[in-house]
Chains A and B, each alone.
Chain A
Amino acid sequence: MIRVIQPGLLTTVQDEGRGNYLAFGMPRAGFMDRYAARMANLLCGNPLAAAVLEMTIIGGSYCFESAARIAVCGAAMPLQLNGESTAAWSAVEVSAGDVLEIGAATTGCRAYLAVAGGLEVPLVMGSRSTYYRAGIGGFSGRALKSGDQLFCGVPGPFAAAPIQLPADWIPEYPSQVDIRVMTGPQAELFSSAGLNALLTSVYTVSNEADRMGYRLEGEKIEHLTGPDIVSDALTPGAIQVPGSGQPIVMMVDCGTTGGYAKIATVIGPDLAKVAQTKPQDSLRFVSCSDQEAVQALQQEMDRYRQVAEWAACGEVPAVAVNVASPEMPREVLQLQTQNPAMLPATRQVGRKLRLHIAGKSYEVEIEEVK
């Protein structure tokens, strides 16, 4: 069980969300940054979709009433376990009575605390996610308060040692990010100057940026005839442009329908990057093909499979592997060191590595190149 000592600014229980009721007007909700949340889950041996705490800007402090394996991933928030600094993006063993203090984000916006076994709040419409605007799901339908007590599920058996994510798989959260978008579904309702503005200028995150949507400010995006469409379906990532010409990126709590033309859609793997930006940060949208977006998704999923395997055996190979997409030619496959300190180990001739590419495993032997 976890007892909330201080809840931070906005801390809610989230999982993958409730995607089955979109046709009924029910917003999806769920993780804002699915990459960080899923990694936190995998590090403590959970399935991708287990319920975690999503903390915003300030983490808060939490007391563990029983021993557990935990992980914190996402925005860089200083972590102290019983007053001593501890690592993020890493599985950590806590004992009964331990207190984890999570500070204010130095970079990024949202961090996730996962506990082995997942957080056990009741399933509402198939999900444990909090949709606080309607008071549904999560912990009593609301953000956590001091004194709240959360139950955890039964963790799977893990004899394996806790692992840490390879450094080059830990995202940085710079204040200016490139976000890949696919144009459409209503790109043809914009002038070429409008489309050009979206794809070449820099947009600033306004103060109106939350789980529902990010209003951006920057060069005006011009419509051909007007901003209104016969309302149709909205999804997280869709970029609506109202009459002001200032784009709004829909996020996970967005309504399921909307009446403004959608110029483009942020690709799934990059929505996490938007979720980690804060007011005054800037976004640059980069056009991306359907094929590139699917490849990016494949790479993201390959990473999850890989980390699940490492967590299960309790070991990360000394050399981390940039998992290449299956379409990539063989000779482009690159191995990179995850950590300069580990470099000598990679020089061991005869060392075997296991590679995981698109669901298949390969054993690779390292030989010194003369």
Chain B
Amino acid sequence: MQKLAFFSQGESGLVVELADKIDLAVNTMVHALSRLILAELGGLVDTVVPTYRSLLVIFDPLQINRETLQEKIAHIYQQARIDVATPAGGKIVVIPVLYGGEFGPDLEFVARHNNLTTEEVIAIHTAVSYRIFMMGFTPGFPYLGGMSERIAAPRLTTPRKEIPAGSVGIAGMQTGLYPQKSPGGWQLIGRTPLKVFDPDSAEPFLYQAGDLLRFNAITEVEYARIERAVSRGEYLPQIRNQAEVVQ
């Protein structure tokens, strides 16, 4: 079991660090600890921000002092015996994607770059579930882990000024999707008709850090059907428990 290190980030911020690397096992522990802190100290902390290998706990030092909070978190960590085998407890969210064509203008480049056919790139991209290590950069942007190096591709030399919301891309060893339109230098391989971030919804985000994303290739006809359902607010995203799916 890794030892926790504590650092302050201002008088209201407590950084709880588990390690100093990007690692699936470490991140699994981060999310398990994050859930436990929220469940057991929910009334005492304002919020918890889980990241790759640490958590930021934001608290009101006039309600609980730093030393007490640290002790409580260390205690939770010890009691829970969180280790590599502890499941992160997240869900699997299926993201339907129309690959290639107008929505994935760089799919052919990614295929050529890796001596693959576009079908092979799609098959590799949809073959695994990706852990959301953390969210950041823009609202709802997932930092995903677990992409096969067989479909890795460099960033664009000149970033695009505007990438449409829902675009799915590859940058180096990472894959991800743009929840909102934004500038960006990722190789775009497809687009999802889902609105993964809707600020006006009671549940603004379709997924959270610790969850898994699974991309699923769809046809143009399916894309149009899902897009219509989403715009009417009638689309039910496919969400599964991690336990139901054998990786």
Residues of A within 8 A of B (CB): 19-27, 124-125, 134, 136-137, 182, 184-186, 229-233, 235, 237-238, 255-258, 262, 265-268, 290, 293-294, 297-298, 301
Contact = CB atoms under 8 A, between A and B. Distances in A.
Contact of A255 (B47, B137, B200): B137
The 10 closest A-B CB pairs, nearest first, are A257-B136, A233-B56, A185-B7, A293-B11, A265-B10, A25-B135, A233-B49, A232-B51, A26-B139, A185-B15
| A interface, over-half SS | mixed
Nearest to A292: B11
B66 A23 contact: no
Given A134-B139, A256-B135, 15 more contacts: A19-B47, A19-B58, A24-B135, A25-B136, A25-B137, A25-B139, A25-B140, A230-B51, A230-B52, A231-B134, A233-B56, A235-B56, A265-B10, A294-B61, A294-B65
Contact of A230 (B22, B65, B199): B22
Interface string B12-31: 11010000111000000000
B58 A24 contact: no
B204 A21 contact: yes
Contacts of A19: 46-47, 58
A21 B62 CA distance: 22
Contact of A125 (B20, B141, B204): B204
Interface string B119-146: 0000000000000001111111101000
Interface residues of B, number: 44
A301 B12 CA distance: 14
A230 B11 contact: no
Nearest to B11: A293
12 contacts: A19-B58, A26-B140, A124-B199, A184-B9, A230-B22, A233-B55, A235-B10, A235-B13, A256-B135, A257-B134, A268-B10, A290-B11
Nearest to A232: B51
Contact of A297 (B8, B53, B62, B139): B62
B193 to A, nearest CB: 20
Contacts, number: 136
A232 B53 contact: yes
A22 B9 contact: no
B180 interface: yes
Contacts of A232: 15, 51-54, 56
B92 interface: no
Contact of A268 (B12, B53, B138): B12
Interface of B: 7-13, 15, 20-22, 34, 46-56, 58, 61-62, 65-66, 134-141, 143, 180, 199-200, 204-205, 208-209
A255 B50 CA distance: 14
Given A19-B58, A232-B51, A290-B66, A134 B138 contact: yes
Contacts of A262: 9
B10 A22 contact: no
A72 to B, nearest CB: 28
Contacts of B209: 23-24
A268 B11 contact: yes
A137 to B, nearest CB: 7
A339 B136 CA distance: 49
Contacts of A301: 62
Contacts of B180: 134
